Amino acid sequence: MNTTFKLLISGRILTKSGLVHNFKYSSTAWPFVKDTYINDFKVIDYSKKYDYSKSTHAFHCMVYARMNEQTFTIQRPRGCVLMQMRFDGYLGFPGGLVDPGEDAIHGLNRELEEEMNLDLTKHKVTEKDFIFSQHSSSRNLTLHFYALETTLPELEKIEARVQLAKDYGSEVLGIVRVPLYTMRDGFRGFPAFLTHAFIGSAREQLLHTLQHLKLLTPEEISDALAAKPHKG
Amino acid sequence: MNTTFKLLISGRILTKSGLVHNFKYSSTAWPFVKDTYINDFKVIDYSKKYDYSKSTHAFHCMVYARMNEQTFTIQRPRGCVLMQMRFDGYLGFPGGLVDPGEDAIHGLNRELEEEMNLDLTKHKVTEKDFIFSQHSSSRNLTLHFYALETTLPELEKIEARVQLAKDYGSEVLGIVRVPLYTMRDGFRGFPAFLTHAFIGSAREQLLHTLQHLKLLTPEEISDALAAKPHKG
């Protein structure tokens, strides 16, 4: 395994319930290696899945559409990405813990239905949507991240259904689009968005997935992280 | 004027266009005095309105409902308050600048229609909804803040219309409810929400207005501002 620019992981996730979930994952865009930490989350190699079998497993998903529209006269985002305001005041992605005895992908889709009112007859996460996983030993928590692609018209229909979700007004306080552009002052837009309060690893899941899906380049992400607000 | 616990201001706002807007405002809840600064915004006494006639005037509004519902099994917020994710990546309230030649309240309602798709035949801001004003000399900007009360069922209808607003997907990237409760760890909920990135004076407008409307007590606001995140 080239540990600098190539990461290939494949294997099976052992869930709390003992069910397994097969996946393959490759990344050439992000210099993640086995011992890379993001906050206290380590990107993990699932060939060693039994190391994590006693931790809690959570599954989250980014719903997104590729686009090339001119927005607000000068912005031209390459995609529309959904996040949510959570009950605890943090921004995050829909998803959550898998119930005992529940298959991982089934659990994730159930959470998307509960939190977003996602129409599972039209949109459903599958293993091909897997992006990457992380483990925090201090939290005894393993996170698995997926990205579900749709079209912009379909994404608008998904947004329109969110308010009728079972968990809207309790677990979910709103849904927002991530501004995937930087405005002319070099800070407003995506860099400003990154200064919000995000739950757990959500900010890093966003950054990694945007790069993995080529919605932003590594340079654009680095620039956004380094940008400082303009005073005055 | 008792400068500690009683503030009474009344007068006329002179807009950029020269039109005037009459208002009265009293607060017994917030120890604002004429020379109180919030960031670089000073709470202003409009009997001296001509001091600000050459500045830009912006009008924003909080749409809210009082409630006493149990949410997420343990939370019991006293109200439901709407904010929006803005195009620039910051959280803020709907509103904006008044157009040349436009009456202030008319301009604010126009902005609410553009940004929230507010049905002005049912909901309309009037001068009785005025809360307070602030001026920043460094920005040459005067901010006027209003709060429009509705019922929770009506607020849900307002939310459901937002996505069809003219500015949705360009100026407005989403609408969220403010978590008006603090969870058992003392930080998640409202204190965590306050750590987000807010535009201009929006965070202070939120805090002042929640207190003014008695949706939160001064003690609850002080506690939320002093709260620290729980580690681990």
The answer, yes or no, to whether residue B76 has pLDDT greater than 80, is no
pLDDT computed for residue A16 by the predictor: 39
Contact B21/B12 with Cβ under 8 angstroms? yes
In a domain, residue B91? The reply is yes
| A72, A170, A196 ranked by CB distance to B197: nearest | A196
Residues in B touching A189 (Cβ below 8 Å) = 87-89
| CA pair distance A49, A88, nearest whole angstrom | 30
> Residue A62: how many CA atoms within 13 Å on its side-chain side?
29
Does the global pTM surpass 0.90? no
CA distances from A230 to A10, A18, A186, B83, B192 (A): 44, 51, 8, 23, 24
Q: Which pLDDT score is estimated for B28?
A: 34
* Within a domain: B53: yes
Mean pLDDT of A76-94: 94
Contacts 24+ apart (CB under 8 A), B157-160: B158/B63, B158/B82, B158/B116, B158/B118, B158/B119, B158/B123, B159/A163, B159/B82, B160/A163
When CB atoms are compared, the residue of B80, B173, B193 closest to A177 is B173
Looking at the structure of chain A, the number of domains it has is: 1
Tens digits of residue pLDDT in B29-48:
333 333 344 456 778 765 55
Burial of B129 (0-12, 13-18, 19+ CB in 10 A): middle
Tell me whether residue A82 is in a domain.
Answer: yes
Q: Look up the ipTM and state it.
A: 0.82
Interface A-B: count of C-beta contacts within 8 A: 101
pLDDT tens-place string over residues A10-67: 333 443 333 344 433 333 333 333 334 445 777 876 555 556 777 888 999 999 999 8
pLDDT at site A107: 93
When mean pLDDT is compared across A175-189, B135-149, B165-179, the lowest value belongs to: B135-149
Q: For all residues of chain B together, what is the average pLDDT?
A: 80
The structure tokens listed for B201 are 């004076």
Scanning A184-203 for CB atoms below 8 A from B yields: 188-197
What CATH number did the domain enclosing B134 receive? 3.90.79.10
Q: Does B141 touch chain A (CB under 8 A)?
A: no
Give the end-to-end CA distance of chain A in Å, rounded to a whole number: 49
Inform me whether the C-beta atom of residue B11 falls under 8 Å from chain A C-beta atoms.
no
* B26 in a structural domain: no
Its domain, for residue A15, covers 3-20+34-226
Of residues A225, A215, A98, the one with CA closest to residue A147: A215
pLDDT for residue A101 is more than 60: yes
Domain-located, residue A29: no
B70 touches chain A (CB under 8 A): no
Look at residue B44 and tell me if it is in a domain: yes
R_g of chain A, CA atoms, integer Å? 17
User: A171: which chain B residues are within 8 Å (Cβ-Cβ)?
Assistant: 72
Distances, alpha carbon A25 to alpha carbons A61, A88, A127, A150, in Å: 15, 31, 10, 20
Q: Closest Cα of chain A to B102: distance in Å?
A: 23
Measured CA to CA, the distance from residue A113 to residue A143 in angstroms comes to 19
Rounded percentage of chain A residues whose pLDDT exceeds 90: 57
B43 in a domain, yes or no?
yes
